[in-house]
Structure 1
Amino acid sequence: MGEKMLIDNRSPRFNGKANLIDFLNAYITKGEFYIVSAFFSPGALAYFYKNFNEVEKFKMILGNLINEGEKQERVINLLEENLDIESAFNLKEITLLAVEFLKQNKVAVKTVKPNFCHAKVYLFNDKNNDPRNCFYVAGSSNLTEAGLGIRKSSNIELNIADFGGNADFREMLGWFNSLWGSVEAKEKIFIDGVEKSFKEYLIELLSKYFKDYDPETIYYKILYELFKEDLLYYDPQSETSKQIKDLEDTRIYNCLYPFQQKGVLSLIKKIQLYNGAILADAVGLGKTFQALAVMKYFELKGYKVLLFCPKKLEMNWRSYLEGFKSRFENDKFKYTIRYHTDLQDNRLETYEDKYTIKDYFQENHKLFIVIDESHNFRNDKGLRYKTLVDLILNKNKDVKVLLLTATPINTKLIDVRNQFKLIVRGKDDGFKDNSLDISSLQQLFIQAQKKFEEWSKNSNKKLSDFITNLPNEFFKLTDALIVARTRDLVKKFDAQDKLIFPEKEKPVNIYISPKNIGSIKSLDELLQRIEINFTAYKPALYMKAREVKSALEDEVSRQRYLAKMMYILLVKRLESSWYSFYITLKNIFNYYINVLEKVNDYEKNKTDIELQLDLSDEIENELEEMNLQDDSDQLEIDYTIGKKNPIKISDIVQLKEFKEDLEADIEKLRQIIGELEAFNNDIMNEINNDDKYKSKDNKLEKLMELIITKQNSPKNDNNKKVVIFSVYKDTVKYLFEQLKSRGFKKIAFVSGDECKSDDGYSSKDFIPVLERFAPYTKLYNEKDWSHLYKEHNLIPIKDYNEWLDFIKQASPETYEKVQNQIDILIATDALSEGQNLQDCDYLINYDIHWNPVRLIQRFGRIDRLGSPNKIITGVNFWPADSYEEFLKLQDRIEKRMKLVSLTGSETIEINDDVSVSQKDENPLISEQEKKMIEQLQLTWEDIESNDEVLGFDKLSLESFRQELFELFQKKRKELESIPNGVYTGFKREDTLFSKPVVDGIIALLGFPRNLENSPKHKYDKLFLLYSDYDGNPVLNNIFDILSFLRMHKTAQRFVPVGIDKSDENELNKLVYALKMWLERKRDEENIKLIKDLMSKGIIKTINSNPHTVDEIFLPENLDLITWIVVS
């Protein structure tokens, strides 16, 4: 009989052995084995099955793995001990053996509540009751591989062992028998209200591990593991949901569709984590309302809210402020509005509110900034960008930023980087010291931009070919900061929202260009006539004083750029209407005459005058917007010649050449203006004709034909509403006057600063006009009528016609607006964003904006959720006789534009060779925009977010997250009950990528390992990889791997027989593949670490990395959560 001994699984205590399992192997013979343990692992049971066959009876009392109301997911976590890379591949075999062990009749199992019993006891009673062969072990070791010492563990165990010849053993045996017979030890348990044998329950649970899972289940398992924290965010019982309780009581939040509320929650989460986020939902999905809800949340949290928007969108945002009687009046919105262009020349301080930069825009404890159309801040060297960063972002303590932007990304990924930099106050390493761990935005985007440029040059390019070259870090960043949904996405994965969009008819395309304007027969001839050099806008090019290099060259650069912009402006106005072109030409001509008069005065009287450019507010605003939209690296231009560096006529050394070039341009302008004046007289006289619907203006005539046909159509209950969009106020006013004078009624126009109707209304405030044009939307839906309902003791009226009856009595002035409706609305792009005009079902683009997103935004005014119209129609007027001619026109304009910016006092012959050599530096319309414009001939559906357009939605994993959320709502229990370590396989198809993929393994790894089997364990890092059998990555990033899995999710399960049968050689190949992948990844990360050390210093680098790279990528430190064999 031996003496008591300690067993700690570390120090040799008996026969040179240290582990509990060695003790059991040494002393177990025939007899009965009794065990009490809070937890167990399948590996321990499998070991018993293989090694302790001579035991005649097993009695085990185990802690109850599930409490009342607890999720089964927690139970499965408790059983997972074999998830390291070496062991996880054998998990199927292990659980099979564990189940076989439990199925034996000689195995009896009972359970007690985990909190009732923490004891760990192993008792062996010899068959012949020989005390020398009886023993007990009591202490800390659970019935797991780590506890028994089968597998190495960092835990220190401590147990005491003794044999059967003393009172301690008898007392321990009596204690066990007493517990076994007690009411606390239960043979049966209740699961979901159904009584079940605990042993059978364990068998069912373990059987999940060796079930043959199909690819779809493992695909959703991967999505669940990647995004389950996001799912919890939408859980009403989550901590985050409790934090937004105040927001849930607001009208803005409650008016949102569920998908919009999810967007708001996601944005709030991202902003809380990273101090900023980007909202880039497709047109018509309610970016404005979602932004308002986020603004309200942070306002309620004590933040001052500051909004920057383009000038034309001011009224869209101002109308929701407290006092403007919107439907959100009770929410009492308080935010300060400034224009993008206010971020220069101290314009921030020029408002009636008297806010100064120091007292209002700086030194705030909490500041929340919203930037609408943030893509205008794509140049981080621009004056406005720097002002925003230096004077505001870096001068406040706690700043959070929400960026609203269009979906497509046109030419430069660097533009996207610069928007991200705004979130971190312009810092390149701003995302280094958080969970994103991005050392340098610049380095990350330089690599991505190279890939983008290489991809762009391929004429047969597929978007997937570009995305497949992006590193995982890129998606980690973009997915963390972007919310970007498409209509297809929300309709597909938010079925419970019952989202109803109107049916869209195929676009109506009208190909028409100016003809027969006096002696000018065609658009081509018109363009030839305006091939002037814009000399009056480029006096600096005729100056000689090169010794003042920096100031002069800056002025030369500005004036070249201004001349180019003036040419583009002139051509775009010609594409819009002959009248807008005519007005602009007259303005240019008058400026030329003014400059020439000053030159003549100088020559005659030696009066040295400074040249000043006096642009109309409208043209200056247009030039500023064009500058914002320009993709070049040009800095913002101050459109006043000589303002920063005064140009005196005496400074123009080549004055003779300057004057000659002025006079040459003036003569060309005089001739074409003469033709246009005669044409204008003809048009004005047409109103006296018998047939007022006929016109020499062929475009106007076609417009009138379309309006008449539309208003006589029975579609949508004889809906007569038509909205006509144009880029230019001159075009809008011309159409208004022409239609009104030719007999069209119920008509109005809206521009950014002027609004008129045919019945005498005239104001800067366009809201009353919109209320008359769209009363169902603007009055019934968007106004706050709660005070009237309360006054009349009514609940909100849900039927429009009932509301009309009510409002007739309760608000006669409102009823009068409904009775005096406007049917034809002509508008500039001041209404192309943020406005709901869904009463209308017919939209006309009178001109084609060179930015296709603007066209989509226009159509989005009538293509709205909940539209009362079943069918809507869009018409596009193209400024050429065919689409091919339209492209040729753009090419010609682009070539001419290059020359306009070059020519000055030097003589450059205007020919195709010169212009072609300059082409494609910075095209007017990018290849992506051309693709979108081409599609606009055929469809309105998701143009800005289709499969071949690079947009923010392609840089987000939101579609996968939404797909999971949809399934989670229906099959939450099934998802949560899928154990870790399970696997599947399929035969691959090579249709998704241009380059073929190869055989290998897709695996999801988690760091650090869940060594404590804790249900609450969270992995610091998750790695989704697709490796070949040599450890080389097959696909580089998470987006591609998930797309590949989605494509194969319905494939039949196929796993090579050797792997399914746990053949050691086959499994070793998989182990080798993962280890090699980890080695390569470790080396890559170490190289990055060295770069960080060199650029940021050792202290900062070490402080931002709690784990070493070697620790993270050590195979034994990672759990293999799930895996897929690709054949």
Structure 2
Amino acid sequence: IDTIREKTWLNDTITPYELYLKFLYEYFKENLRKKDALDIQLPKGFMKLEYQHEAVRTLSDIVEAYNGAFIADVVGLGKTYIAAMYMQTLPGKKLIICPPPIIESWNDAISDFGVRSATVVSLGKLEHIKRKGYDEYQYIFVDEAHRFRNENTEQYRLLHEICYGKKVILITATPLNNSIYDFYPLIRLFQPANDSTIPGVKNLEEFFRKIRIELDKIDKSTPEYLEEVKRVSKVVRDRVLHPILIRRTRNDIKEYFKQDIADQKLTFPEVDTPHKVIYEFDKKTDAIFNETIQKIKKDFTYARYQPGEGLEDEYKLNDFAKTQERNLAGFMKSMLIKRLESSKYAFLQTIDRFIQSYNDFIKMYESGTVYISKKIDIYDYLDNDDEAALIKELEKDSKSKAYTKEQFQPGYIEKLRLDLDILHWIKDTWQQVPTDFKKDKFLKVLRTDTQLKNKKIIIFTESMETGFDLYNTLEKEYGNKVLFYSSGVCRYNRKSAGKNYVKELIHQNYDPKYSAPRDDIKILITTDVLAEGINLHLSNTILNYDLPWNPTKVLQRVGRVNRIGTKFDKILIYNFFPTSTSDKELGLENSIKAKIQAFHDTLGEDAKYLTDEEETTNHKLFGENFYNKLNNKDTYNDEGETENIQLKYISILENIRENNLDLFNRIKYLPKKARTARKYTVENPSLITFFKKGALNKIIISDGIKYEDLPFEDAVKYFECPPDTVKQPITKQYYDLLDFNKQQFVQNDVAEETVVKRGGSSNHKEVKLRIEYAIKEGRLTDVQEDYLKKVLDLYNAGVVLNETSKKIKNEIAKTTDSQDVYNSVKKNIPETYFTNTRVKEKTSESVREVILSEMLLL
């Protein structure tokens, strides 16, 4: 009898502290660090870091279970090295997709780590990858994966097709750019939207749709919205991301891998409080600035970029084309604002391009025929803020559809001419401004700030032309100690230089791991082309010459120098802010905030092109919040990020395993259905129960009337207690409460299975109806009908993208012929969706287990 009591759920000697540890063990036993050595060959001189090796082990388990994973450690912790080490362990061929600037870094990494059968390709070459074929690859690695968070782009559609059925590893330090919804498109690269294998979230589409609906109900400017964002973020982390995401901050590494970090004599630099560089317009220039802002905001119509708006009603574009034009106009508006803030030189260059574009368009209009492009996708240009390339693309692709000038409203040409007059006014007026106040202040700081003396400095600007102008100015004073690098133009030693040559100079001067070091470059001027995936930590000083509107780019810039292994103990950041003599009555800081607010307000709803960060406060406070954020050092590191709660509790378990093996083994062998009771501050006596079903963990607390499904972060607070916590007798109510919790678990499980059958966009539903009708009609061959049935299976699993359905819907809108439906579906659904299969675990067929329960008594 004693044995039965000890080894079964009848054991009533289990203390609350033991049950707490048992809860941690059962929840995290798959996450405990494995002691087996990884067979990884490290490059000569490369440190063996425990946190990186642990990530490789975890990554292997996640990819095996879910077909994909995120490597999302914060910048500077070596995500590329973790990925390269993992590749070493893999059979088969690997495809690495990354931004062009870091192709060289990836080639170096796979060479250094001896990775075989790996190909590195630019993310701009997805169409080329598709044409060439990608069936041979078993593993797809996507670096800077956050660039694909918008599933409504052609680039995303191509990537989804390439990734389908493969093992997919997404590498990004910033998976969450704008909203919690950003994760959904990325997860879809390795999980079907309606038939996911993530435990407890079979229908990802419905899960994220409900979150969006709940958030949309609340005013973003209220404290309630921020609280709701925190709540749903916790739910998303616990239910969706925990199984598939590796993310550690510097603080996590310092806390939970402290012994290894100490043994390796590694340190992490601290980000110093950012330095404010304030430049001041005189009264005349400030008046010109304010009038320019007003013209961009109110008078300029952007008619050249929205020709569809000028058509007579019977020729109007469809809603999709109208949206594309509005997006294009918004993008161009944001470019004017960014260049106005960046530099006088860049602004005037942009104005010249606008003038040329308007002149060409008016000439085309006056010739009698206007060509309107329908292909331009501005999202392809957003990352690089490259309006010059966009304008070229507009001109090149302008023969999409022809309209006569008689099909336009009479007032359209007047709008074009009015815009052109405004552009000429802006150009003529700014050419009369005798100086660039910002550049003058920059030069003064560079010459006089003692912290910049004898330092390697990196100057970031979003504008290639601002960088070019700064180089030409600094080169006169600093000679060949200055270098300019961008995707379009490189300058060194008073002349244009080849990109490969300049890139080599950068590595030699700024990358401590480079084999042929030099020390002749002191000032590196660059665009954000160098903000990703490159080591520059022989410098510790960053100057953000433009206002860094995009928080993601800010983190990436600082991440180039804030890297593990740097010799510096501090990172220095300089930000430039505008003010004016006219605003002195406001006070200095309020004047700066007013200027920032003016930029923002000029864009209105187009502010999304200025910054990709979701506004969670009153938009009238944007200037103040943005200014405060840029001057807070926590913005540039991970100190403001939520603690990795799960890593904390895994560490507790590992510490017990290391230092108290008897206790660890006692906890390990405590029986299933273990139970205890203790006093706790609750409204009514309650029971918290931990269930498992396959890989699904579910924790439910109830008092017999109401219940709550708890994320881990909330549940652990009920279990956590000190070793001397007194055990209370289990009351008779225990059995009723346990039955109630079981009922809730079963009902939730049934609801989760049922919701899979619902959902889908209107485009999906319409295409599915047409396919179903085509099958029932009986005019197709049996082979064609079988094919369409397989397509319906793909729809039910949530594999097909909305953009694909939209394309099919538009193609079959004016036909009733089932053969046309079949042909359109066959043309647009990738064959790989049928030939590549995904590993699936049928959670619904797993057995439900009660792992443990604890009574909480008054």
Give TM-score scaled by structure 2 length: 0.77
Determine helix, strand or coil for the equivalent of 2:287. coil
1:497 aligns with 2:196: no
Q: Is the 8 A contact 1:610 1:642 kept in 2?
A: no
| SS at 1:546 equivalent | helix
Task: Report the 3-state secondary structure (helix = DSSP H, G, I; strand = E; otherwise coil) of the residue aligned with 2:404.
Answer: helix
Q: Partner of 2:463 in structure 1?
A: 728
In the aligned structure 2, how far is the partner of 1:828 from the partner of 1:286? Answer: 22
CA distance in 2, matches of 1:874, 1:923: 20
AA at the equivalent of 2:345: Y
The equivalent position to 2:142 in structure 1, one of 371, 384, 400, is 371
Q: Which residue of 2 aligns with 1:875?
A: 574
Q: What SS class does the counterpart of residue 861 from structure 1 fall into?
A: helix
Q: How does 1:230-379 map to 2 (within 5 A)?
A: 230-231=31-32, 234-236=34-36, 244-245=38-39, 248-251=40-43, 255=47, 257-298=49-90, 301-303=91-93, 305-320=94-109, 322=111, 328=112, 330-331=114-115, 334-339=118-123, 341-343=124-126, 346=127, 348=128, 357-361=130-134, 363-364=135-136, 366-379=137-150
How far off its partner does 1:854 sit? 1.2
Distance change (3 Å), C-alpha of 1:1003 and 1:1086: closer
Name the counterpart of 2:614. 926
- Tell me the SS of whatever aligns to 2:73: coil
Equivalent AA in structure 1 for residue 302 of structure 2: F
Paired residue for 1:844? 543
> For 1:480-508, what per-residue CA distance to the aligned partner results, in whole angstroms no more than 9, with x for missing partners?
11111122212111112324112322111
Matched, 1:1125 2:852: no
Residues 723 and 844 of structure 1 are in contact (CA less than 8 Å); yes or no, is this contact kept in structure 2?
Answer: yes
Q: CA deviation at 1:672?
A: 1.6
Paired position in structure 1 for 2:833: none
Residue 74 of structure 2 contacts residue 248 of structure 2 at CA under 8 Å; is this kept in 1? Answer: yes
The 2-side partners of 1:475 and 1:658 are apart by 54
User: Cα–Cα, structure 1 residues 771 and 896, in superposed 2: closer, same or farther, change >3 Å?
Assistant: closer
Aligned match of 2:807: none
2:666 to 963, 977, 987: 977
- In the alignment, structure 1 residue 418 sits paired with structure 2 residue 418: no
One-letter amino acid of the structure 1 residue matched with residue 448 of structure 2: T
Task: Give the whole-Å Cα distance in 1 for the aligned partners of 2:379 and 2:844.
Answer: 56
Change (3 A) 1:649 1:463: closer
> Would the alpha carbon gap of residues 1118 and 864 (structure 1) be closer, same or farther in structure 2, given more than 3 Å must change?
closer
What amino acid is the match of 1:829? Answer: D
Residues 610, 965 of structure 1: CA spacing in aligned structure 2 closer, same or farther, 3 A cutoff? same
| 1-structure distance, mates of 2:526, 2:145 | 23
SS at 1:419 equivalent:
helix
Distance in 1, matches of 2:20 and 2:429, equals 69
Cα distance in 1 for partners of 2:712, 2:422 equals 60
Shift of 1:935: 5.5
User: 1:640 corresponds to which letter in structure 2?
Assistant: L
Q: Number of matched residues?
A: 757
Cα 1:221–1:329, aligned 2, differ >3 Å: closer, same or farther?
A: closer
1:401 Cα deviation after fit: 0.6
Residue pair 2:460, 2:527 contacting (<8 A) in 1 also? yes
- In the alignment, the residues of structure 1 paired with residue 16 and residue 326 of structure 2 have an alpha-carbon distance, to the nearest angstrom, of 66
Instruction: Identify which of 210, 213, 226 aligns with 2:27.
Output: 226
Match of 1:1000 among 681, 686, 705: 686
Aligned residue in 2 for 1:646: 400
- 1:1076 matched to 2:751: no
Deviations 1:39-97 (A, max 9, x none): xx6255x8xxxxxxxxxxxxxxxxxxxxxxxxxxxxxxxx512x1xxx35xx22xxxxx
Structure 2 residue matching 1:873: 3-state secondary structure: strand
- Percent sequence identity over aligned pairs: 20
| Aligned 8 A contact 2:734 2:855 in 1 | no
Contact 2:309 2:316 in 1 (8 A): no
- The alpha carbon displacement at 1:567 in A equals 0.7
SS in 2 for 1:249: coil
- CA drift at 1:664: 1.3
Alignment-derived partner of residue 741 in structure 1:
476
Structure 2 CA distance for partners of 1:477 and 1:841, relative to 1, 3 Å = closer
For residues 718 and 493 of structure 2, the distance between their equivalents in structure 1, rounded to whole angstroms, comes to 60
Q: Counterparts of 1:449 and 1:590 in 2: how far apart (Å)? A: 43
Report what 2:699 is aligned to: 1024
Match of 1:11 in 2: none
Helix, strand or coil for the counterpart of 1:229? Answer: coil
- In structure 1, runs of 5+ residues without a counterpart are 1-40, 47-78, 93-208, 323-327, 350-356, 629-635, 683-695, 784-813, 902-918, 989-995, 1008-1018
RMSD of aligned C-alpha atoms?
4.2
Q: What is residue 825 of structure 2 aligned with on the other side?
A: none
SS of match in other structure, 2:83: helix
Provide Cα deviations, 1:681-723, integer angstroms capped at 9, x if missing partner.
x4xxxxxxxxxxxxx322222222322234x44x9xx742111
Q: Say which structure, 1 or 2, has more relative contact order (CA 8 Å, 6+ apart).
A: 2
Separation of aligned partners in 2, 1:1032 and 1:310? 51
2: CA distance between counterparts of 1:856 and 1:380? 24
Counterpart residue type for residue 733 of structure 2: K
Q: 1:527 to 1:613 in 2, by over 3 A?
A: farther
Name the residue aligned to 2:7: 80
Confirm or deny: 8 A CA contact 1:1035 1:1041 kept in the other structure.
no
CA offsets, 1:535-568, max 9 Å, x none? Answer: 2222222222636754xx5443322221111110
Q: Over alpha carbons, which structure has the higher Rg?
A: 1
The yes-or-no answer on 1:481 pairing with 2:236 is no
TM-fit CA distance, 1:287: 2.0
Q: Is the 8 A contact 2:271 2:637 kept in 1?
A: no
2:706 counterpart letter in structure 1: N
CA 469–335 in structure 1, closer or farther in 2 if over 3 Å, else same: closer
1:771 is aligned to 2:555: no
Q: Deviations over 1:1047-1090 (max 9, x none)?
A: x545x8554xxx63x3xxx5212333222122222223233344
Deviation at 1:661, TM superposition (A): 1.6
Asked if the contact 2:42–2:48 (Cα under 8 Å) also holds between the matched residues in 1, the reply is no
Alignment partners' CA distance in 1, 2:363 and 2:546: 36
**1:817-896 paired onto structure 2 within 5 Å:** 818=518, 820-879=519-578, 892-893=598-599, 896=602
Per the TM alignment, residue 413 of structure 1 is displaced from its structure 2 partner at its CA by 3.5
| Alignment of 1:698 onto 2:433 | no
Matched, 1:1040 2:714: yes
- Aligned: 1:592 with 2:358: yes
2:199 is the alignment partner of 1:429: no
| Aligned residue among 506, 509, 512 for 2:276 | 509
Output the CA distance in 2 between the equivalents of 1:489 and 1:943: 16
Tell me the equivalent position of 2:831.
none
Q: Distance in 2 between matches of 1:360 and 1:999?
A: 62
Alignment of 1:374-413 (within 5 A): 374-390=145-161, 392-394=162-164, 399-407=166-174, 409-413=176-180
Aligned-pair distance for 1:730? 0.8
Paired residues of 1:847 and 1:879 also in contact (CA < 8 A): no
How do 1:450-489 residues align onto structure 2 when only pairs under 5 Å count? 450-454=213-217, 457=220, 459-461=222-224, 466=229, 468=231, 475-489=238-252
In proportion to residue count, which structure has more helix? 2
Unaligned runs of 5+ in 2: 581-587, 760-791, 798-839
Which of 278, 281, 287 is 1:521 aligned to? 287
- C-alpha separation between the residues in 2 aligned to 1:671 and 1:596? 18
Work out the CA distance in 2 between the residues paired with 1:622 and 1:1003: 51
Equivalents in 1 of 2:218, 2:48: separation in Å?
39
1:762 pairs with 2:497: yes
Question: Contact 1:599–1:649 (CA<8 Å) still a contact in 2?
Answer: no
Q: Per the alignment, in what secondary structure is the counterpart of residue 248 of structure 2?
A: coil
Q: 1:577 to 1:319 in 2, by over 3 A?
A: farther
- The one-letter code matched in structure 2 to 1:294 is Y
**Corresponding letter in the other structure for 2:663:** E
**Mapped partners of 2:396, 2:855: distance in 1:** 68
Q: Is the 8 A contact 1:1031 1:1075 kept in 2?
A: no
Which residue of structure 2 aligns with residue 658 of structure 1?
A: 412
Cα pair distance change 1:408/1:250, threshold 3 Å: closer
